[in-house]
Amino acid sequence: MSHVDYVKIRGCEASEEVRPTLLRRGITAGPDLHEKQKVEQVLLAALDDFPEALICVVFQDTFLEFEHGVFLASDDGLDEAEVCWSLKEDERVGFSVPEGEEAQVPLSVGADSLLDLFDGTTKDASAEEHLLRLPERFFELPKALRMLAHIAAVLEPDRFQVLVDIAGHYYVATLERKKGVVLAPLYPWVEDDEVRKLMRSAVGTPAPGTFEPCPKKERARGGSKRDPQQPFTTGSLKARMDSVQDAPVMVRAAYGSKTFVETPEAFEQFVAALRASENGGPRFAPVRSALYQVLFNHWPEKTRPLLFSGLEAEQDDAVRGRLYACLSRVEDPAAYHALARGMKVEPPGVLERLSQVIWRQTATVELLVREYLVPSWPEDRALADRLVKVLRDEYVEIPPAWVSEAPEELLKVLGPVLAKA
């Protein structure tokens, strides 16, 4: 079997008449993988249709993240060149920074205490003891600067350099302990002047170099200082999550080694942590989600009102998904109605989780079909199509009595999931 090379397209520059053709054939910047050979074929075909066109495509190797190349399609044919990087825009100036395992940033504190700084930005950051591996790509320059400055505040050596990709542009980040971070942009470079101009037009120009000082107050420790007496509401995101998961909910009774009783005030402590302002906002949404799950696992009846009030107040999609998952195990008409209504009003991020649990209670599915699916056809076709898809995907069988008043066209659509009379 022949080897296939895949690339990601980082930028494309072409004349106006050629761009629609390239877009139709998928030649556009983005995270999608493309067979390198097929990209070449598309460019050659575009030259057949537009012989005088000039097309520049910058691509990234999928195995070596920092390796880039450029295709130049013109009346001379199709050429490929390797992209180099320069610290200066108008002349090639080389640089040297650690690579591979040596690129892990050594810290003076436990590295896991910094991981929640990256929450909501990327999933690629990781930590081991006092070494932090930065994500390959930071998505926003201001936030990336702040994170790097926080890391510099607890840097172990006096100075350390790493390569970072921020919003699609590369920078050399020089971290200086307790001082801050200097970002120096890297410019894509090829020797040919015209190709270089086209290439930079395709990928854009990085922001100029800048400096961000270390924060003066409370150097980054991934959250407030950890208090052993308040493990659910202090410390980093990871520390709080670990505290919730490891909390002693049940203890051995004094009168029997095999008998367990509820830890005194455990329920109240979890509820207080759930309602605490320290766990509010998107940053600590995973903590709230974990608290709901622990509460429901151990005190399902006492937690039920918290689930309903959570649906009224919670804004985070993942936490709302957790609430619906818990309610799907509650045998209560109020829970059935909440779940069925959620299929109509929730955004896609919540619907994905809700769709996976909606089938658990037969009463919920019946309500969904009778009060939402049948009345929505055909006026609200988008809702009807979404509900039919869920029923099919989850292999939910519908008794004919539930759709006795449904129009014939809807019955045909439901055919595969309708139970035989």
pLDDT along the chain (421 residues), means of 10: 72 87 85 88 92 90 76 90 89 84 84 70 69 80 88 92 86 93 92 88 87 71 67 86 80 44 76 92 90 92 94 92 94 94 89 87 92 89 85 80 88 80 59
- Sign for the pseudo-dihedral over CA of 248, 249, 255, 258: negative
Please give the pLDDT value at position 260. Answer: 42
Position 223 scores a pLDDT of 53
Q: Which residues pair with 24 in a beta bridge?
A: none
3-state secondary structure 142-190: HHHHHHHHHHHHCECCCEEEEEEEECCEEEEEEEECCCEEEEEECEEEC
13: three-class secondary structure by DSSP: strand
Please report the pLDDT score of residue 301 as a whole number: 93
Rg (CA), the chain: 28
What confidence score (pLDDT) does residue 259 get? 45
Q: What is the pTM of this model?
A: 0.52
Write down the pLDDT at residue 94: 87
Ordered structural domains, the chain, with CATH: 6-85 (no CATH), 100-188+204-213 (no CATH), 223-417 (1.25.10)
The partner residues of 80 in beta bridges, in order of sequence, read: 71
Using CB atoms within 10 A of its CB, is residue 408 exposed (0-12), middle (13-18) or buried (19+)? exposed
Assigned token pair, 419: 């139970």
Contact residues for 191 (Cβ-Cβ < 8 A; gap 6+):
none
| Cβ(257)–Cβ(271) below 8 Å | no
